[in-house]
Amino acid sequence: MSAGVLVQGLFYAFGTVLVLGALGVIGARNPVYSALSLVLCFVTAAAIWLLIEAEFLAVVLVLVYVGAVMVLFLFVVMMLDINLAELRQGFTRFAWLGCVTALAVIFEIAGVVWARGTLGVDAARGPVPTAPNYSNTLELGRVLYTRYAYPLELAAMLLLVAIVAAIALTMRHRVNLKQQDINAQVAVRAADRLRIVKMDPEPRP
Amino acid sequence: MLPHLHQPFHTWPPYAQATAWILAITLTLIICVALLTLWERKVIGWMQLRRGPNRVRILGLFPGLGQPFADVIKLLMKEVIVPQRSNKWLFRLAPLIALVPAFAAWAVIPLSPTVVVSQADAGLLYLLSLTSMGVYGIIIAGWATNSKYAFLGAMRSAAQMVAYEIAMGFALVGVLMATGSMNLGTIVRSQAGGPLTWNWFWLFPLLMVYFISGVAETNRAPFDVAEGESEIVAGFHVEYSGIAFALFFLAEYANMILISALTAVFFFGGWQGPLQGYPGLGQTFLGAPSFGWLLLKVFCLVFLFLWFRATFPRYRYDQIMRLGWKALIPVTLVWIGVEMLLAHWHVGPWSH
């Protein structure tokens, strides 16, 4: 069995899992199952990216989305008491909108695949295999920190502003809020809290 | 050029070599975990002036050495009780999810100058992503159990892990700056020299941050609020019994060994020996880099985990969060700035 067939077989295997996972995200009754299906989707998408030798993107997808974003998602979803009946109320009313959106996306993907096929790019084969000592991570870093250094920094600043804004918007100052002063707690000494009194066990005669 | 001399299996085809190494490493790790549980009980026993396990023998010798194996057999025989109202499928899946990252991470760890399963260039990122996935086993277990105690444990652990991952990642950014590579083999090679060229010397604050975060990531004492016996019984694994519990246990100890190995690789020169280049030592064990040195370093670092457990009282939960966000992360940020200055003046790792 050649490596190409193996890679193709793996691609279809991961692809199947990915599609099933995506169906699980929208089909699962329990939101926690939906979130876990999304995690499965991210992991299999990362595996597919590994097949086309985009190891940096694959690892970062797992690191950022699976490792951080989805943990917080799960965190919230598990604590929410979601009323499923209420969520499903508008289903038939908005079903047509969902169908149209889905059709548009399918049409776009089909268009790209068709265009690549007619323009002579074999979409199923993927990019040309790279040399064994080629490092995807190194190349990306080289481009990001030289040619695109300023756009990268700008994007980072934008994210920072978004973080600060999100925190500033959600921070509430309640009146009469009791807070702990940790420095005072750490600085406390036994003599501040405790006074040892010497006294006789019983009155002297 | 990177070496690819998997010595014992070097005549085999590449995939067979990789499989053989993966099997060998996994089995060795499981044995190590078994022995580590015994070592932990012995060490803590000695620290508390007790004897520790000293009854079960192997072949009538070595009192206590048979204890971990006896425990494993006991746990295998016990019934795995699945609570009636729990989410049965996820309940059974969770221990396995907890276990996988602890073992998969070993793929990129350079064991000796010639042995590493994968020389991925994004090795460091791979490790970060795997350690961040370790939390899923705990969250899923806590939620699937459908019990308040387990759920509290899971929530605590999730928040704690997300917080300490950031400090850990920043500490590794410092390592990255000092070595200029994300390939773990290259990181070890760039520390060649003696103990003072290893990263711990110039990155000492980052070593502290990394190891403390590592202890917190593995949910070990003094950061073990996810289990917190005195408050929430046993946290996320309160309803687990038999082999399902054993798998969580295995994952925790495998993670301890993993964090120790990573600390050794990032800050203590991995397989580099401390006496390399001294005249007269040549290619003897003392003079040559080898797996033995890595083993020695990992052993010392794992011992620290046990020592902490026997020494420190448990942190209060809000203080854990405070330490992570307000102490460890600022330290890493400051030290990354210091490294920038060191690099500018060509000091330490940047002198050549």
User: The complex's ipTM?
Assistant: 0.79
Low-confidence ranges of chain B (pLDDT < 70): 1-10, 277, 280-285, 352
Partner residue opposite B182 with nearest CB, options A32, A68, A137: A137
The predicted structure's pLDDT at residue B10: 67
The predicted structure's pLDDT at residue A2: 64
List, in sequence order, the alpha helices (H) in chain B.
14-47, 67-77, 88-104, 123-144, 148-179, 184-189, 199-202, 204-217, 229-232, 242-267, 291-311, 317-322, 329-344
Whether omega before B222 lies within 30 degrees of 0, making that bond cis, reads yes
The predicted structure's pLDDT at residue B1: 32
Q: List chain B residues with CB under 8 Å of A66.
A: 129, 132-133
- Mean pLDDT value of segment A23-48: 87
**Contact call for B122 and A68, based on CB within 8 A:** no
Q: List chain A residues with CB under 8 Å of B323.
A: none
- Residue pLDDT, tens place only, B214-231: 998 888 878 888 777 777
- Assess contact for A144 and A154: CB atoms under 8 A: no
Q: Which residue of B has its CA nearest to A180?
A: B318
Q: List chain A residues with CB under 8 Å of B140.
A: 36
**More confident site: A133 or B84:** B84
The whole-angstrom distance between residue A27's C-alpha and the CA centroid of its chain comes to 20
- Mean pLDDT value of segment A46-70: 85
Chain A contacts to B (CB-CB under 8 A): 32, 36, 39, 55-56, 59-60, 62-63, 66-68, 71-72, 74-75, 78-79, 133, 135-138, 180, 182
Residue A26 has pLDDT above 50, yes or no: yes
Q: What percent of chain A has pLDDT over 70?
A: 87
Residue A35 has pLDDT above 50, yes or no: yes
**Contact call for A135 and B133, based on CB within 8 A:** no
Q: Identify from B133, B151, B236, B321 which residue to disrupt to test chain A contact, counting A C-beta atoms within 10 A and taking the largest count.
A: B133
- Assess contact for B245 and B236: CB atoms under 8 A: no
> In a 3-state reduction of DSSP, which class is residue A48?
helix
The predicted structure's pLDDT at residue A151: 92
- Distance (Å, rounded) from C-alpha B294 to C-alpha B320? 31
Q: List chain A residues with CB under 8 Å of B319.
A: 182
Q: List chain B residues with CB under 8 Å of A136.
A: 121-122
> In a 3-state reduction of DSSP, which class is residue B61?
strand
The predicted structure's pLDDT at residue A127: 55
**Contact call for B322 and A79, based on CB within 8 A:** no
Strand-pairing partners, residue A102, are none
Q: Which residue of A has its CA nearest to B143?
A: A78
Q: Identify from B121, B160, B177, B181 which residue to disrupt to test chain A contact, counting A C-beta atoms within 10 A and taking the largest count.
A: B121
The average confidence (pLDDT) of chain A is 82
Among B247, B215, B248, residue whose Cα is nearest residue B314: B215
- Name the pLDDT band for A121 (thresholds 50, 70, 90): low
| The two three-digit tokens of residue A147, written as one number | 């040619």
Cβ within 8 Å of residue A63, ≥6 positions away? B125, B128, B129, B132
- Distance (Å, rounded) from C-alpha B315 to C-alpha B328? 15
**Contact call for B132 and A36, based on CB within 8 A:** no
How distant is the Cα of A200 from the closest Cα of chain B, in angstroms? 35
Residue A61 has pLDDT above 60, yes or no: yes
The predicted structure's pLDDT at residue B259: 92
Interchain CB contact of B253 with A (< 8 Å): no
The predicted structure's pLDDT at residue A72: 82
Question: CA of B71: how far to CAs of A138, B76, B96, in Å?
Answer: 47, 9, 20
- Name the pLDDT band for A191 (thresholds 50, 70, 90): confident
- Residue pLDDT, tens place only, A98-114: 889 989 999 998 888 78
Among A43, A33, A133, A37, residue whose Cα is nearest residue B2: A133
Q: Which residue of A has its CA nearest to B181?
A: A138
**Contact call for A79 and B155, based on CB within 8 A:** yes
**Contact call for A62 and B122, based on CB within 8 A:** no
**Contact call for A66 and B132, based on CB within 8 A:** yes
Q: Which residue of B has its CA nearest to A30?
A: B87
Q: List chain B residues with CB under 8 Å of A137.
A: 121-122, 125, 182
- Name the pLDDT band for A155 (thresholds 50, 70, 90): very high
**Contact call for A67 and B132, based on CB within 8 A:** yes
The predicted structure's pLDDT at residue B210: 93
Q: List chain A residues with CB under 8 Å of B135.
A: 67, 71
**Contact call for A59 and B143, based on CB within 8 A:** no
The predicted structure's pLDDT at residue B208: 92
Cβ within 8 Å of residue B282, ≥6 positions away? B288
Q: List chain B residues with CB under 8 Å of A56.
A: 122, 125
The number of C-beta contacts closer than 8 angstroms across A and B is: 67
Cβ within 8 Å of residue B89, ≥6 positions away? B144
Looking at the whole model, is its pTM more than 0.90?
A: no
Strand-pairing partners, residue B115, are B112
Q: Ramachandran region of residue A157, left (φ > 0), alpha (ψ -120 to 50) or beta? A: alpha
Cβ within 8 Å of residue B153, ≥6 positions away? B138, B142, B225, B226, B227, B228, B232, B234, B235, B236, B237, B238
